[in-house]
């Protein structure tokens, strides 16, 4: 059974379409890392899936309770950034949500705290969505990577390293396809040029026929006069 279903959602900001996603379902237990360039709407997408923000169009169906860990946590003068993050994670996990949404959870954590978070989330039985620039963290916990680009999401099975490998293959395939296209284009252009030259030569030959016919007749007359003179 699916954990979450996206149905034709669309979000715009200042007349710019952040994303437009027709239909996606995610199975229970998946751990999805969301990647993409800054400013493309990753956080907005996460908030919509978590129910924190509404889309301009469409809707999201969640099967079960949801926990949301924002990138910016409430101010607490007594706690450091890392302490606030650890406290927020413990609070959310204690609630045992069916779905967990986290935005850059490792940004304020030291190495040991990140490793501890990895162990916690590997044991987490629910469905996880996480935005992170920490590639090693995504490698450790993710089963799927979503790339947000050109207002769409593309799913890549595996962790971040698997995603990078698939992207390399995509680029190589695109480059090979482009080279093949260029080769065929040159072949067609050469064939067209050859055809045009042949057609032009044929046109000249056809247009020159009356002159050649006239010259042939004159030569025939000259030949006849010479023949008569010899007789």
SS3 16: strand
pLDDT of residue 173: 82
pLDDT of residue 204: 76
Task: Check: CB of residue 126 under 8 Å from CB of residue 63.
Answer: no
Partners of 7 in beta bridges? 23, 59
Q: What are φ and ψ of residue 57, in 5° steps?
A: -150, 150
SS3 69: strand
Task: Check: CB of residue 34 under 8 Å from CB of residue 130.
Answer: yes
Six-digit token string for 40? 């493309």
Cα separation, 116 vs 109, in Å, equals 10
Q: What is the pLDDT tens value at each position of the chain, 231 positions in all?
A: 799 999 999 999 988 999 999 999 999 999 999 999 999 999 999 999 999 999 999 999 999 999 999 998 888 878 888 999 999 999 999 999 999 999 999 999 999 999 999 999 999 999 999 999 999 999 999 999 999 999 999 999 999 999 999 999 998 888 777 767 777 777 777 777 777 777 677 777 677 767 766 666 666 655 566 565 555
In the numeric block, the tokens 């971040």 are attached to 160
Cα separation, 173 vs 153, in Å, equals 20
pLDDT of residue 209: 67
In the numeric block, the tokens 């899936």 are attached to 49
């Amino acid at each position: 059974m699916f954990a979450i279903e996206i149905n034709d959602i669309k979000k715009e900001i200042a007349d710019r379409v952040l994303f437009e996603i027709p239909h996606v379902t995610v199975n229970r237990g998946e751990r999805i890392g969301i990647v993409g360039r800054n400013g493309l709407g990753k956080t907005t997408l996460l908030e919509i899936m978590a129910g924190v923000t509404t889309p301009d169009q469409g809707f999201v169906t969640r099967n079960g309770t949801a926990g949301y860990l924002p990138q910016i946590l409430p101010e607490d003068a007594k706690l450091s950034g890392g302490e606030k993050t650890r406290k927020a994670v413990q609070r959310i996990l204690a609630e045992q949500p069916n779905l967990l949404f986290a935005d850059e959870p490792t940004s304020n954590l030291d190495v040991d705290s990140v490793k501890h978070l990895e162990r916690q989330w590997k044991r987490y039985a629910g469905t996880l969505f996480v935005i992170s620039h920490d590639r090693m963290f995504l490698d450790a916990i993710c089963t799927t990577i979503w790339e947000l680009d050109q207002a769409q999401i593309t799913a890549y099975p595996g962790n971040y390293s698997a995603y990078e490998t698939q992207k390399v293959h995509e680029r190589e395939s695109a480059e090979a396809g482009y080279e093949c296209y260029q080769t065929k284009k040159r072949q067609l252009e050469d064939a067209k040029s050859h055809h045009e030259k042949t057609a032009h030569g044929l046109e000249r030959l056809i247009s020159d026929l009356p002159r050649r016919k006239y010259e042939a007749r004159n030569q025939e007359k000259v030949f006849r006069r010479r023949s008569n003179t010899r007789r």
